[in-house]
Each structure stands twice: as structure tokens, then as C-alpha cells.
Chains A and B, each alone.
Chain A
């Protein structure tokens, strides 16, 4: 079982309200915000690790490879995923402005050709662009079956298919996909029992969330390989299908008034806001 996990370096989403817009709206400035792994991609790493281990030890022959497109500094974020337990990394240098979801998906399709994974698992969206498109585009380019918004993955014993629970409006859809396949993950994929690989004993309970790297793993990760190359080495047509003209801050919402009790609140909702 070989799994490829693409990850994006994004500005700390917990401080997204501190972004600024450059003069003239030319770009979004994230200076001062800590660059982190896109949280949904971090969940994808966790899911990939759970699929390829027997509770705590890697299943022999299984492998998790991380790939990223971005600045050289993204190597740090790949290293974090390696410390979580991934085996190796690929970093293709690119300016974020020279990428769109379509180009990233085309680049991933090239990487899939050489890496030949059984599964590509990635976040359902990156929390900066919020576009929610790379996984779907990749699946279509590869003509692989896929499932978006996964909240559960069960790998069949023969490792030829997966059953994926998809979080959709109004409930959960279950799909069975033949491998190789593409899966994009939603937040509940890191719940204690969300990933079943039929190797890890059913009695094993994962902790909720993505794992933290213990110190020995952080040290070990320093020696794991990350292959770096310019994105041009993939030989893609670099033409983008979309172009941002300007950026702006949304209109700020004014803080309103504090009320002292329920009676005052209900009174204002009736007489002032006229919504009751």
C-alpha cells in the first residue's frame, strides 16, 4: 500500500483575521502569521498513517510519501509530516502566485505517474484559498474513482478497495471505490474510530485529532529524504486558467451593544431590530 499525501503550506488559520491587503489591493499579506500545514492536509497525513500501520508500527512494504508545491521553506512543513511518521517527501519549488488549483492538480497528476500510489489522500480544501477543487480535478485528470469530504475510510482486507463515508448536506453517503483512488478528507476523519485498515486491532483506539510528533521521531525525521526540484521540471504548461485582479478586506461588522438581561434583549429584538 503506497499513499501519496499532498500538503500545502498556509498561514496560521487561527489568526486569519490578521491578514492585510497590500497597497492597491495587489496581494494578501500574511507577514507575522506562522506558516503551518493546511489543517485538512494534516488530517490527510493522519489518515494515511492510520491506513498503513498496525496500531503503532508501519506495515512492512507500506509507505506514505508527502508532496508539496510552494516556497523552499515548505520543506519545514514536509519535515513536520515526516516527524508524524511519513516516510519521505517531494518538494517542487514554485511561487504561490504562479499556481492555481488547476495547475497544482496537473502537477500532482505528473507526480502520480512516477510515484504510482494506490491512494492519494488530501484535505478537502486549503484554508487560505478556500477553493475546494484540487482533489476533484486530480481524480478527473487521472480518471480514478474518488470520494470527497471523507469522514471515514475502511480499507478492504484484500487492499483492492475502500469504503468511504462522505459528509454531505443532510447526512452521510457511503461509497465503495476500487483502488487506485483519490480521497479528500473532512475534519471528522481524525476521530478515534474513523479509519479502519483491517490490520490494526479493532480494540485499538486512536486519540482524537492528528498526532503530535514525539521527540525521537522529530530527530529521526531529520534524516528522512526530501527530494527538491523546480516545478518546471515536471514539464507542465504553466498557463493559469484563473487570475486574481485585486484583493480587499470585507466590510467590517460593527460591534453592537451589550444588554443587561433577557428582558432588555427581547425588548430590543422586538422594537429596534424588529426580528421577533
Chain B
């Protein structure tokens, strides 16, 4: 009998929305599932998790899990996975899931499919489709091990909505984590922003190196971002140039997003950037170079000087919104 274990992501006691994608995957995979929540002071998060149709919500509430450290979390996740007889363990491929999933796979002797975009069932086997080569190829992967660990790409699995009901809650004890004694958590320097998180934003405005400076982002791009109520992103080139923090990077090695509307402003469209945004529903590109590769994926392209047209666009968006 197949059984899936979903690892919830909790930060500062709050359930992160990343978790909903892993739950969405578990529903697609088809087997009954339980959810494991680790953290400290996670009562509210556990309560929220009870509404997703899990057989049980397993709650590991312990000071050991106050902050995420892989060495502290791995033994408990592995012990729960083994003791409960789960053959599939899943987590969303956020920085949390990407760090944790391979460690858990080792502990339970499982094969790992990371950052998958789709799951299919063929002849009783699960096949996982995953983007490779910066999204320029899709590989269909089978895990040949009895136990399987899968991390899922948040932008490719629709966030699960609550299904009602109230799953049973079982308390789980923290397993001994001797390796955690060699790792000291010092700090989390959080980037605070009033804007929506990139992985959850319905509209994203991303800027490239053509904005020329941090000032360019602030004075030209940000008014458009806020007029649209959008999340703000950036190309790797803009991050490398130091205009904005890396947390805003969209691409193969940054965040992968698929909003309803994506504005690429002064972004040429390097392969590694396209890998992070080409599944957006509607793409708008603004660039003064008509040959920029970004135009090959854009639904609407405007060849123009961004310093001239972005303020115009900001004003037009404000006017359009005012008209309702």
C-alpha cells in the first residue's frame, strides 16, 4: 500500500505557501498522504494543515527546529518516513526543500527526483518530468529504488486549496541529531518587503542591467511595480552588477516563476533568465535592442528606451486602474 509523506515548510511559526505545491503533487500522485510539520511554536500552522485532506498531520514541535538547519531536521524526517512506512516523501523545491530532500534521501536509502515539473503514472510506476539544461530539455525520470524522495517545482504544481475536514494530529518526538552540534545557527537577515513574494505574485516586473544602477531600479522600475501591485524581479546581470539583492533574481539559478503577467524591462533574455520565466502566461518585453532574444518569447514587445517608456507605462497603468 503506497503512502506519501509531505514535508511542510514553516518559517517563524507560519506555514509557507510553498507547502501547498507539495500537497498538490501528493494529490496528483494519488496515494493517501500525511503531512509532517517541523518547527517551534507551530500550533497555528498545524491547525491550518489539518484542512487539506491528509490522513494525519504529524507535528514535531521542538526547540531543535526553531530555525531550519539541515543537520537538525534530517534525522526526524527520516525516522518518521521509515517508521510510518511511507514509500514517497515530498517537499517543494524552495531553498528549504532543495537543501533537505537530498539529505533525507540518503538517510532512508531512497532515490531522488529533484525540482520536478510533472508526474505521470505508467504501468503502476510513477514517472517524473523534470526540466534540465536551464529548461531547454525535459527528462522523464524513473526512480528505481523502493523508496522515493521528490522535490517539486512550485511554479509547476498548482497550490492545493483546503479541502475541508480536520485531519488527526499526532505529536512526533524530535530524533537525536548529533551532527547538529557541529552547526551553529547564527542569524537570518531577512529582506523585508511590502511587495508580494516572487513565487506567489500574479504580476511581476523584472529589470535588467539596462536600468544602469540601483537608482534606476528605484526611480524608474519601482513606480511601475507598485502601480501594478506586482512583485519585483531582476536578471542575473542586474544582481551581479549589485543593483538589487540576489533574492530578486529570476532564472535557472534564482527563482522560477510563472505569473499571469510578466514584464521584462531592459532584460536581453539570456538563456538562464528565460529558464526562470518562460512559462509565464503573458510576457511583455521592453528593450531598445530589436534583436534581443527576449522578444522571441514575448507576447508583446516594445522596442524603445526604457527610461522614456516605463514612466509613460506607469502613468497609463495608473490611469487604466483608476478607470476600473
Contacts and interface: CB of A to CB of B under 8 A. Distances in A.
A129 B145 contact: no
Given A130-B115, A137-B105, A168-B96, A253 B137 contact: no
Nearest to B113: A242
A115 interface: no
Contact of A256 (B99, B189, B272, B298): B298
A248 interface: yes
A150 B209 CA distance: 24
Given A174-B189, A255-B295, A276-B317, A169 B247 contact: yes
A236 interface: no
A169, A177, A246, A270 interface centre (most CB from chain B within 10 Å): A169
A169 B112 CA distance: 22
A170 B247 contact: yes
B212 interface: no
B112 A241 contact: yes
A246 B300 contact: no
Contacts of B246: 151, 167, 186-188
Contacts of B261: 269, 273, 275-276
Contacts of B133: 11, 13, 16, 19, 28, 127-128, 130
Contact of A170 (B98, B114, B183, B191): B191
A169 B145 contact: no
Given A169-B247, A174-B187, A175-B185, A130 B316 contact: no
Contacts of A132: 98, 102, 114-115
B187 A275 contact: no
Interface in A17-43: 17, 19, 21, 28, 40
A245 B144 contact: no
A176 B184 contact: yes
A173 B179 contact: no
B11, B99, B130, B140 interface centre (most CB from chain A within 10 Å): B99
A136 B260 contact: no
A157 interface: no
Contacts of A275: 203, 260-261, 281-282
Contacts of A139: 70, 103
Contact count band on B: 35 or more
SS of B interface (majority): mixed
A188 B297 CA distance: 28
Contacts of B130: 130
Interface in A150-191: 151, 163, 166-178, 181, 186-188
Interface string B13-29: 00000100000000000
A110 B230 CA distance: 49
Interface string A239-276: 01111111111100101111101110110111001011
Interface in B168-200: 179, 182-191, 197, 199
A266 B317 CA distance: 7
Contacts of A188: 239, 246
A242 B297 contact: no
Contacts of A125: 253
Contacts of B103: 136-137, 139-140
Contact of B320 (A243, A273, A276): A276
B64 interface: no
Nearest to A258: B301
A208 B131 CA distance: 30
Contacts of A137: 102-103, 105-106, 112
B94, B186, B270, B303 interface centre (most CB from chain A within 10 Å): B186
A54 interface: no
B139 interface: yes
A258 B183 contact: no
B113 to A, nearest CB: 7
A270 B271 contact: no
Contacts of A208: 240
Nearest to A181: B182
Interface in A181-218: 181, 186-188, 208
A16 B105 contact: no
A176 B187 CA distance: 10
B284 A265 contact: yes
A242 B112 contact: yes
A187 B253 contact: yes
B142 interface: yes
10 contacts: A16-B134, A140-B102, A148-B99, A151-B246, A168-B96, A174-B188, A187-B236, A248-B137, A257-B301, A259-B301
Given A133-B105, A263-B316, 9 more contacts: A17-B271, A28-B132, A148-B95, A167-B246, A168-B95, A177-B183, A253-B278, A256-B283, A265-B313
